[in-house]
Structure 1
């Protein structure tokens, strides 16, 4: 089972994120903490795969916390989810090797897709994802590309995402159009080359 620790000082938002991720992502356990000290105490006692933090915390800031987490636990992936995401924060997260850097204005579906991408070995940044023609691949399409890059067939991707094969085919059509390619292999190759996945 995969595990995620979400750090945010707003209890209603924190609980909503926990419930959404546990409901939508199979085999995911989500723990929560309200500040930096609670996070470090929890990490000392429990194994966690990904630590996702807000930036503004009562006893510090998310980047400083994630830096401390990386120093103490280098195998834990880290990410930032905050209301006031700026290029400077995104740069700071990237310098720490964060796998997720998102604004809180994302929908629940976008957040779920981003976490799935992170657990599949990808990185998701709000400022990343523009194709060469200036269009932007949605998180869902990037998620499909990541699964395809792992060798999964459309039927397997459907089961993982809980959608129909016709929905996946529609996404592939748009992916081909956006990346200006003719098939799945070319789409995955171009997405990898352009660092979209």
Structure 2
């Protein structure tokens, strides 16, 4: 019996092509296919594949969410992402949550097979012509993180009140400030947290542990 594999792909034509090749290959045993993320989670839970060929752009939930759910359930399997150039950010997210590698759609089956065997052996696979783009995205995101400036005591106070749902006017009344001053502090908060609105500011504040929840 070959390595147990599942295929998750919503493009039926591509799915049938790769399914046919996998079925003909005695290195693998196809345990099933899925065309949506929800189907994929159920298939992986039920079938216990060792490897999953996963499309990121699914009609219900993203492939990244599929990986996250499977990791949360402590199910052991490895994911190889099949992607297109337009999905660099999604690929980066998938790698961060546990994908073992990624290839561009259109990669010859021989290369896909090599990648699957490499991942099954404990390795990882990176498509060279995507790697530099992803590295640049990662470095830019890390640069933005390192450039985040610490909030002042007053700015933290205001951010916490905003998180509780208070308006600028209400925050001003509580702190004995003018609405204009509160608005100015908010602009500084947005700049320091690298966000553009109150919702993003609160979300980032929670992530950084700046807000009492």
Q: Tell me if both proteins adopt one fold, taking TM over 0.5 as the criterion.
A: yes
Deviations 1:137-160 (A, max 9, x none): xxxxxxxxxxxxxxxxxxxxxxxx
Q: Could you say which residue in structure 1 is the equivalent of 2:55?
A: 54
Larger radius of gyration: 2
Shift, 1:30, TM fit: 4.5
- Counterpart in 2 of 1:155? none
- Per-residue deviation, 1:21: 2.2
Distance (whole Å) between structure 2 residues aligned to residue 126 and residue 103 of structure 1 = 7
The residue number in structure 2 matching 1:70 is 71
Moved more, 73-82 or 47-56: 73-82
Q: Which SS does the other structure have where 2:20 is aligned?
A: helix
Query: How many equivalent pairs are there?
Result: 130
RMSD: 2.3
Question: Moved runs in structure 1, 4+ residues, more than 6 A?
Answer: none
Partner Cα distance (1:86, 1:104) in 2: 11
Q: Does 1:110 align with 2:120?
A: no
Q: Normalized against structure 1, the TM-score is what? A: 0.58
- 2:6 match: secondary structure: strand
Q: Deviations over 1:20-63 (max 9, x none)?
A: 12323524335210101111222232211122211111112111
Q: Which runs of 5+ in 2 are unaligned?
A: 132-213
When residues 112 and 98 of structure 1 are mapped into structure 2, their CA distance, relative to the original with a 3 A threshold, is same
Summarize the alignment of residues 148-187 of structure 1 with structure 2, pairs less than 5 Å apart: none
CA 1:71/1:45 → structure 2, altered by over 3 Å: closer, same or farther?
same
